[in-house]
Structure 1
Amino acid sequence: MTVLKAALLLFVLFYIVPLGISAALYKARSAGTDWRAADRSSAGLLPPASRNPGAVVRVYAAPTVRWRGIFAVHCWIVFKPEGAASYTRYDYTAWGDPIRMNGFAPDGRWFGQVPETVFAADGPSAAAMIPPIQKAVAEYAWSNQGDYRAWPGPNSNTFVAAIMEAVPAIGLTLPPNALGKDYPHDGRWLRPTPSRTGFRLSLGGYAGLTLAWVEGIEVNILGAVAGLDLRRPAIKLPGLGRIGMRGPEGTGNPPLPAEAG
């Protein structure tokens, strides 16, 4: 009984309480807003492509629409080859063909919410990442109408996690509240983490355990992730995301040493 009580206490502290706080923050943030008319214009995170000739890769995240924002963020990927006249944005959505190209402004607000930069690369390092990103998008397994599932996946975060996994140089993990990031997009329940610095066990996205240097320690219960980052000390909580030291890209995800700078 003592072990059971301790487990229940930990579950309340690391899952129920953070989600309750996230729900209160959502209510305060969304009071009086209409998500249908919410702003989706550029948040000003990227300069116009015409003034930014070098190659660019970005991963963004913003709270999902309506009450789902209590639990999760929506992630997307943006890139621009050197000299390109425009950015290319890829989202994975619930309507139409799930892989959506340039459906929104590259750095656009997600139904009123300003995105956070999860990852940023520029210049030659970004240019080297773009071909494998394009290949991974073209080969993504869940690309047909009806494939999208908000929970436990494959959803928008599953898609971005799969792209990042195909580009080891990115060397980071999505935020812990990127619900669906742990869904086994290729059917493998035990796999190396996207950073190739550890392993992840995922029971169909409904539960799982991650042990890795970059990803840290993460426990997935019904898609909600709690954990610790020992490399850059921080705690990861459902709904609230990461609390602690932050990396140069804004979410505590510094690039691997080979990509620094």
Structure 2
Amino acid sequence: MKILRWSLALFALFFLLPLAISALLYQFNGVGTAWRTADRGSAGLLPAASQHRPAVVRVFAAPTVRWRGIFAVHSWLVIKPEGADSYTRYDYTAWGAPIRVNGFAADGRWFGRMPELVFAADGAEAARMIPAMQAAIADYAWANQGDYRVWPGPNSNTFVAAVLDAVPGLPAALPPNAIGKDFPHDGRWLRLTGSGTGLRLSLGGYAGLTLGWVEGVEVNLLGAVAGLDLRRPAVKLPGLGRIGMAPVATAQAGQAFSAQH
């Protein structure tokens, strides 16, 4: 009984309480109102592609539309090969063909919500990644109409996770509230993490455990993730996302990008 009480207490502390706080913040901030007419224009996070010759890779995430933003973010991928005069944005959505290309501004607000930079790479590093990413997008297993499932996946976060996984050793991890990121997009329930620094066990996306140097320690219950980043100290909580230091990959790439401007 003592083990059961401790388990329930930990579940309430690390899963129920963060989600309750996220719901209160949602109500307090008034987000989700008039979402159909909300701003989806550029948030100014990218330079004009025609004036920026180096290759670019970006992953952005922003709270999903309306009340679902309490629980999850929607993530997307932006690619620009070296010398290209435009960005290409890839989203995976529930309407139309699941893989949506340039449906929105590359760094656009997601129905009024400011995007969070999840991963950034520029120059030779980005150029090395892009061919593998483009191949993964072309070969994505869940690309047919009707394949999209909000929960537990495959959804927008499953798609981005699969593309990132296609680049061996890529030091990136999606936010803990990117529900669907742990869905086994390739059918493997036990596999190396995307960074290659650990292991991920996923029981169909409904539950799982991740242990990795880049990904940290993550416990997945019904798609909600709680955990710790030990490399760059941070707490990962359902609904609230990552609280603590920024991931090394994001910080280093962001500094390199800023240095070019």
TM-score normalised per structure 1: 0.94
- Cα RMSD (Å) of the superposition? 1.5
CA 1:32–1:40 in 2, change beyond 3 Å: closer, same or farther?
closer
Letter in 2 for 1:68: R
Deviation per CA, 1:67-113: give whole Å up to 9, x if none: 00000000000010111110000000000000000000000000000
CA 1:218–1:240 in 2, change beyond 3 Å: closer, same or farther?
same
Aligned residues: 254
Q: Secondary structure at the match of 2:15?
A: helix
Structure 1 residue 160 and structure 2 residue 160: aligned? yes
Q: Secondary structure at the match of 2:3?
A: helix
CA 1:136–1:3 in 2, change beyond 3 Å: closer, same or farther?
same
Match of 2:210 in 1: 210
Deviation per CA, 1:200-220: give whole Å up to 9, x if none: 110000000011111111000
Cα deviation for residue 170 of structure 1 reads: 2.6
Deviation per CA, 1:95-140: give whole Å up to 9, x if none: 0000000000000000000101101111111111111110000000
Match of 1:258 in 2: none
CA 1:249–1:40 in 2, change beyond 3 Å: closer, same or farther?
farther
Cα deviation for residue 248 of structure 1 reads: 5.1
Letter in 2 for 1:126: A
Match of 2:69 in 1: 69
Q: Distance in 1 between matches of 2:96 and 2:247?
A: 35
Assess if the C-alpha contact under 8 Å between 1:129 and 1:169 holds in 2: no
Structure 1 residue 134 and structure 2 residue 134: aligned? yes
Deviation per CA, 1:164-221: give whole Å up to 9, x if none: 0001243211000000000000111001110110101100000000111111110000
Aligned ranges for residues 200-239 of structure 1 at < 5 Å?
200-239=200-239
Letter in 1 for 2:89: R
Q: Which runs of 4+ in 1 moved over 4 A?
A: none
Structure 1 residue 44 and structure 2 residue 57: aligned? no
Structure 2 residues not aligned, in runs of 5+: 254-258
Identical aligned pairs, as a percentage?
71
Q: Secondary structure at the match of 1:33?
A: coil
Deviation per CA, 1:18-48: give whole Å up to 9, x if none: 0000001111222582000010000000011
Q: Distance in 1 between matches of 2:145 and 2:188?
A: 22
Structure 1 residues not aligned, in runs of 5+: 256-260
CA 1:60–1:31 in 2, change beyond 3 Å: closer, same or farther?
closer
Letter in 2 for 1:48: A
Aligned ranges for residues 115-126 of structure 1 at < 5 Å?
115-126=115-126
Q: Answer with 59-68 or 164-173: which moved more.
A: 164-173
Q: Answer with 45-54 or 239-248: which moved more.
A: 239-248
Aligned ranges for residues 1-261 of structure 1 at < 5 Å?
1-30=1-30, 33-247=33-247
Q: Secondary structure at the match of 1:170?
A: coil
Q: Distance in 1 between matches of 2:10 and 2:32?
A: 35
Letter in 2 for 1:164: L
Q: Distance in 2 between matches of 1:202 and 1:32?
A: 31
CA 1:38–1:107 in 2, change beyond 3 Å: closer, same or farther?
same
Cα deviation for residue 244 of structure 1 reads: 1.3
Q: Distance in 2 between matches of 1:31 and 1:44?
A: 21
Q: Distance in 2 between matches of 1:229 and 1:200?
A: 15
Letter in 1 for 2:213: W
Letter in 1 for 2:173: T
Assess if the C-alpha contact under 8 Å between 2:232 and 2:248 holds in 1: no
Cα deviation for residue 247 of structure 1 reads: 2.8
Q: Answer with 119-128 or 30-39: which moved more.
A: 30-39
Q: Answer with 28-37 or 129-138: which moved more.
A: 28-37
